Every structure is written in structure tokens, then in C-alpha cells.
Amino acid sequence: MKVVILCGGLGTRMAEETEYRPKPMVEIGGRPILWHIMKHFSLYGHNEFFLALGYKGDQIKRFFLEYYTLNRNITVDLATGKVRQYNMETEKWVVHLIDTGHETMTGGRVKRLQSFLKDEPFMLTYGDGLSNVDLCKLESFHKKHGHAATITAVRPPSRFGGVVFKGNMVSKFTEKPQMGEGWINGGFMVFQPEVFKYLKGDKSVLETNAIERMASDGHLAAYKHEDFWQCMDTMRDKLLLEKLWASGNPPWKIQG
């Protein structure tokens, strides 16, 4: 399936970073979080991406325009100006960089991609969330249930650590558990072309104008993912993801 990634938001809760770059370009372990997301899709065989750009979208365009050259060894002959690039393995991605407007809402960004996506089902996620969700199982679940859309439901990490008691005494403190209370939409969605019927223009909000209405109409399924998921809404989230990456075995990294 083709993969849509929403990359146009302002990221105001991470102003320390997003004053200078769009949130999908904020780095985790020296790579933009967008790269980590795309790598996950690629490991499941999804290699064609449509990036819905908005705020500072030129930086995302520049990243991919330079990607091929900057990820290869290069020999430059200064006398002749000739450049030779060494054949090194790189991602086999086809990346469509589509400007969907600075002020466009999430649903409007998807609507603007309709002519590119045509009458085919597609996957969609946000440009600021990482997970180890099994995309093959998600796709199979979507096909089996036959609904117009499937979201990946996740239980977000708890904001607080825990206290373990021994009688009235504190025995120890525990790390924040991965699973918080309640289920939320964690992205990693699958849509049939019917979704476009719910989107009318740039002011359409994917979450309310499409997803909530599809649920009311009985057209929305939820694939429950009970393992790792983490969004990057704040600097605290970024630091957590950096810590996980530095561990050498980040939970969203799947060996291909």
C-alpha cells in the first residue's frame, strides 16, 4: 500500500525545536523521527510515501533531495570538478513531497492527496509517533473486517511512575508503565477511498470530520496494539526517545 504521513503541523508544544524545523525533522539518534517512521513501514514492504507538507516543508524537501548524495561515499576531483559516488546500499523509497498548505487541517491535507492516491486503499500515520506495531497484521485485520477504515488503538504510557509500599513504608519507585489507562488513536491507520467522501476541503479535520463520523456510521474498526507506542509531543518525549535509542535496542527498531 501507499503510505501517507502528515508532516504539516506547527508543533507548538515543542517550540524549542520547531522554531527552526518542522517536527518530523526533529532528530532521534541523529536521524529525523520521520526517517524512523518510514524505516518501520519499509521493513514491512511499504516503500512509496506521500508526505503531506506544510510548516517549513522546504526543509523536508531539502532532506530528501540531498539524501542520496549525503549517504554515499564521494570522490571529488578538484582539478576537473568531476564527482564520483560509490555504490552503497540505501533505502529503496519513492518519496512524493506534496505541499498541502500552511494552514490546512489534517483532513484537508489528506483531501489534497486524493488525485495521487486514486481509488486504492492506503495507510496513513502522523509524522511524530513511533511504534513497533506489526503492519502485516494490521493490514490483514483491515482486510478481514472489511470496513472503510481501521485505526491502531494504543494505550499511551503513563505520565507518572509508581510507588511500591511495604506496609506504610515506601519500598521502591517504579518506572512509568508503558500502558496507561484507556485507548487512543495511535495513528498507523488504513483507509479505503471512501474516506474522501467525509473530507470537503482544507478546513476538514481528519479526526472529527472523518474518523468520528465513520465510527458513527459503523465503518471504523480498531486494531488493538498493546506493545510499544510513543508520540513526540513535548521535549520530555524527545528525551525519552533519545534515551531509548541510546540503549542500543530501541523498541520501535525491527531488524529487517
Task: Give 10-residue mean pLDDT values along the chain (256 residues).
Answer: 94 86 94 96 96 96 90 89 83 95 96 94 97 96 93 81 62 60 88 95 94 92 94 93 93 73
In the chain, the amino acid numbered 51 is L
CA distance linking residue 173 with residue 233, whole number of Å = 25
Of 14, 215, 31, 247, the C-alpha closest to 23 is 14
C-alpha cell at 140: 490483514
In a domain, 171, yes or no: no
In a domain, 35, yes or no: yes
Pair 110, 165: CB distance under 8 Å: no
CA distance linking residue 1 with residue 47, whole number of Å = 8
C-alpha cell at 35: 526517517
| Whole-number pLDDT of residue 174 | 64
- What is the CATH number for 99? 3.90.550.10
In a domain, 96, yes or no: yes
Question: β-pairing, 122-126 with 2-7?
Answer: parallel
In a domain, 62, yes or no: yes
| Whole-number pLDDT of residue 255 | 57
| Whole-number pLDDT of residue 256 | 47
Which residues touch 175 (CB under 8 Å, ≥6 apart)? 161
**Which residue range forms the structural domain that includes residue 134?**
2-152+182-246
| Whole-number pLDDT of residue 93 | 95
In a domain, 224, yes or no: yes
What are the DSSP E strand ranges found in the chain?
Answer: 2-7, 27-28, 31-32, 48-53, 74-76, 83-85, 94-99, 122-126, 129-131, 149-154, 162-166, 169-174, 184-185, 189-191, 220-225, 229-231
C-alpha cell at 195: 474516506
CA distance linking residue 104 with residue 115, whole number of Å = 17
Q: Is 112 helix (H, G, I), strand (E, B) or coil?
A: helix
Of 134, 91, 114, 143, the C-alpha closest to 202 is 114
| Whole-number pLDDT of residue 185 | 92
In a domain, 129, yes or no: yes
| Whole-number pLDDT of residue 85 | 85
DSSP 177: P
Q: How many domains does the chain have?
A: 1
In a domain, 239, yes or no: yes
| Whole-number pLDDT of residue 86 | 81
In a domain, 169, yes or no: no
Greatest Cα pair distance in the chain: 79
| 237 alpha-carbon distance from chain centroid | 14
pTM: 0.88
